[in-house]
Amino acid sequence: MIIDCKSISKEIDAKTKEIIENLGFSPKLVAVTSNPDPSTVTYLNSMKKKAAKLGIEFDVMEGSNMEELVKVISKLASDDTVHGIFLTHPLPEGIDEFELTLRIPPEKDVEGRTPYNLGMLVYGKELFPPCTAEAAVRIMEHTTELKGKKVAVIGRSVTVGKPIAIMLLKKGRDATVTVCHSRTKDIKAVTLDSEVVVVAVGRAKFLKPDMVKEGTIVIDVGINVVDGKLIGDADPEIEKLASVTPVPGGVGRVTTSILMEHVAKAAERLSKR
């Protein structure tokens, strides 16, 4: 069965529009990039369309090297008309992504990638969690009661796997979480013992039907291009026995909506200063 992520996205968009209407002005989001590849350009174009629909100003600024990117981000950080800064990734070799995130003010870090916003998750303070991680958690909350549920998270990246695990452990959600990765022995045994499986490894069809039991909820975060088509990390055959988020149109759709919601909330907070 396919999980309806479109309706979740629409609910988030409606709340975002409401925030913007109450603001009385258009929030501004700026994407910072360096030598973007075709997939990044495509994503930026989709962000531009989404922002326009919601009443958010959107701009893109580029830097060809670390020095230029530092200057761009520093300028945006001090610009009161800019409410959200989005740093595209992956970035070219030689550019220190961590150093760049340190220069983004936490209140403008709408993608939730600064050490401050990531660290706040440990204390249960979700100012701006990483958008993809938040999307996965919201889909889970929309689909099931998480309290006491056994959840397997496959992947331990800084912006997906780790924050998802931390957010699921938060009091009020109270899930029991197991994080799996490339060194985990017998991942299949873990997933078969889980009621929810989040797969975020970047490998097409990694999660096979024999790795989940009937009735499992599968949150597929993967986006892989195979023969010109987008394929998730979960084998499509899993749909016959589990509830699965679609690829495309699943976690990615909700992620973009959450990013725009963060921009609106950032503008709301900054306007109250």
pLDDT per residue over 192-220, tens digit each? 999 999 999 999 999 999 999 999 999 99
pLDDT at 39: 80
pLDDT at 273: 75
Residues sharing a CB contact under 8 Å with residue 17, sequence separation 6 or more, in sequence order: 54, 55
pLDDT at 169: 98
State pTM to two decimals: 0.95
pLDDT level of residue 42 (50, 70, 90 thresholds):
confident
Per-residue pLDDT tens digits for 175-194 = 999 999 989 999 999 999 99
pLDDT at 154: 98
Q: Are 4 and 243 in contact (CB under 8 A)?
A: no
Does the pLDDT of residue 272 top 90, yes or no? no
pLDDT level of residue 28 (50, 70, 90 thresholds):
very high
CATH number of 25-107: 3.40.50.10860
Residue carrying the six token digits 């990246």: 157
Domain made up of 131-251: CATH architecture = 3-Layer(aba) Sandwich (3.40)
Q: Where do the structural domains in the chain lie, given as residue ranges?
A: 25-107, 131-251
* SS3 labels along the chain: CECCHHHHHHHHHHHHHHHHHHHCCCCEEEEEECCCCHHHHHHHHHHHHHHHHHCCEEEEEECCCHHHHHHHHHHHHCCCCCCEEEECCCCCCCCCHHHHHHCCCHHHCCCCCCHHHHHHHHCCCCCCCCHHHHHHHHHHHHHCCCCCCEEEEECCCCCCHHHHHHHHHCCCCCCEEEEECCCCCCHHHHHHCCCEEEECCCCCCCECHHHCCCCCEEEECCCEEECCEEECCECHHHHHCCEECCCCCCHHHHHHHHHHHHHHHHHHHHHCC
Pairwise CA distance, residues 146 & 238, whole Å? 21
Q: Are 139 and 8 in contact (CB under 8 A)?
A: yes
CA angle 16, 22, 28 (to 5 degrees): 60
Q: Matching CATH topology for 25-107 and 131-251?
A: yes
Average pLDDT in the chain: 95
Pairwise CA distance, residues 91 & 99, whole Å? 12
Percent over 70 (pLDDT), the chain:
100
Cross-strand pairs, 196:
151, 217
pLDDT at 37: 85
* Mean local confidence (pLDDT), 13-27: 96
pLDDT at 203: 93
| Higher-scoring residue by pLDDT: 41, 263 | 263
Per-residue pLDDT tens digits for 233-262 = 999 999 999 999 999 999 999 999 999 999
Q: Are 190 and 214 in contact (CB under 8 A)?
A: no
Percent over 90 (pLDDT), the chain:
89
Pairwise CA distance, residues 193 & 151, whole Å? 9
Q: Are 219 and 240 in contact (CB under 8 A)?
A: no
Per-residue pLDDT tens digits for 67-116 = 999 999 999 999 999 999 999 988 888 899 999 999 999 999 999 999 99
Spacing of C-alpha 208 from chain mean position: 24
pLDDT at 226: 86
* Mean local confidence (pLDDT), 11-21: 97
